[in-house]
A = this chain, B = another copy of it.
Amino acid sequence: MLYPQLDTPCVLIDEAILEANIRGFQAYCDEHGLPVRPHIKTHKLPWVARKQLDAGAIGITCQKVGEAEVFAQAGFDDILISYNILGSAKLARLLQLAGQVKSLAVVADSEAVLQGLSAAFADSGRTLDVLVECDTGAGRCGVQSPQQATQLAALVAALPGLRLRGLMTYPAAHSEAVVQQWFSRAAALCDAQGLALEVFSSGGTPSMWHAHEAPIVNEYRIGTYVYQDRSQMAAGACKEADCALTVLTTVVSVPVPGRVIVDAGSKALTSDLLGQDGYGQVLRYPQARVTGLSEEHGVLDFSGCHQAPVVGERLQIIPNHACPVSNLFDEVHFCRDGEFLRTEQVQARGKVC
């Protein structure tokens, strides 16, 4: 039986694969002179972030003030929160955080967000670093043109309590040429106005091996690469053997031949499809398909397989998307070469604010 010490469903992290993933991308970035600022949203574990920094990362990226608080408490002192921070409660916590770490930066894509940040920091004696978020095609947040980026950069530079740090984008996959052109145009416009931009931050795992194709980028934020997952396999960022995170699950029923029910449902694998067919990839059964999930049941189709598992047997499933899986479990289990090593609490799990 796989990992008899552990009850299912649970999350396994293969430490050897994890380390290889961290080393591999850091080596690529070192070769291209590209600083890495890993996004901790994928693992939410200070222990893993420490490995990323030890390998050469320059700092970390968080998405939430609550995540940044956990990591600041764990000793991380260079943090970018790549999110528009709004509201008095979060702004008060942000100011407190600024007093705890050596370097704290946020992003902003509107005057409303900047006015809030400035009001919180203006009379505090502290200065907050701000990157202007740019929508280079992903269609989420961000100013819409290099001209708008320049206007907002000028406002950052003018507002008390804030310091202009640079530009940031969460790009569409495989849009390096667009990012290069967009950032270059904005840089020229800012330069013409005497606005200094130190950092051009981009990121994303799907295009990780193409990061060097936008040479203006001098900071790469990347999360999923530490664990990898099925959607990244489909994007060409990794192979199955690079997937460090699997959900260990038990077959609880085989009601008819070929229909295998496991105890990993959407509460373990999430309902994220990310363009995939089915909800995960079963290790050692390449023909098996995860056809349906309810909260506590996974429905697997083994009709295309030579043999099917029996009730009580354990399977490992690579999820479509590793990051939200980390958020569903209070703890994850590290292993190496098929042997259980130890359990870690997911310290930044559930930090919604």
B254 near A294 with CB under 8 A, answer no
Interface flag for A222 (CB, 8 Å)? no
- Name A299-334 residues within 8 Å CB distance of B: 299, 310-312, 323-324, 327-330
Interface flag for A195 (CB, 8 Å)? no
- Name A188-203 residues within 8 Å CB distance of B: none
A327 near B297 with CB under 8 A, answer no
B252 near A113 with CB under 8 A, answer yes
- Name A74-92 residues within 8 Å CB distance of B: 83-84, 86-87, 89-90
B352 near A110 with CB under 8 A, answer no
A270 near B261 with CB under 8 A, answer no
Closest chain-B Cβ to A310's Cβ sits at a distance in Å of 7
Interface flag for A295 (CB, 8 Å)? yes
A86 near B311 with CB under 8 A, answer yes
Interface flag for A353 (CB, 8 Å)? yes
Given contacts A87-B312, A110-B311, contact A266 B272 (CB under 8 A): yes
In the complex, the chain B residue whose C-beta lies closest to that of A64 is B296
In the bound complex, residues from chain B placing their C-beta under 8 Å from that of A232 are none
A113 near B8 with CB under 8 A, answer no
A90 near B271 with CB under 8 A, answer no
In the complex, the chain B residue whose C-beta lies closest to that of A253 is B141
The docked-state distance in angstroms from the alpha carbon of A86 to that of B252 is: 7
Q: Which of B89, B268, B299 contacts A352 (CB 8 A)?
A: B268
The docked-state distance in angstroms from the alpha carbon of A313 to that of B15 is: 43
Question: How many of chain A's residues touch chain B, expressed as a range?
Answer: 35 or more
Q: Which of B86, B272, B352 contacts A329 (CB 8 A)?
A: B352
B140 near A353 with CB under 8 A, answer no
In the bound complex, residues from chain B placing their C-beta under 8 Å from that of A10 are 352-353
In the bound complex, residues from chain B placing their C-beta under 8 Å from that of A270 are 266, 270-271
In the bound complex, residues from chain B placing their C-beta under 8 Å from that of A109 are 253, 255
**Bitwise interface map of A from 338 to 353 toward B, beta carbon under 8 Å scored 1, else 0:** 0000000000001011
- Chain A residues engaging chain B, CB cutoff 8 angstroms: 7-10, 41, 63-64, 83-84, 86-87, 89-90, 109-110, 112-113, 116, 135, 139-144, 250, 252-256, 259, 261, 263, 266-268, 270-273, 294-297, 299, 310-312, 323-324, 327-330, 350, 352-353
List 10 contacting pairs A-B, 8 Å CB cutoff, sorted by A: A84-B253, A110-B253, A110-B311, A112-B310, A140-B299, A141-B253, A142-B255, A266-B272, A267-B324, A329-B352
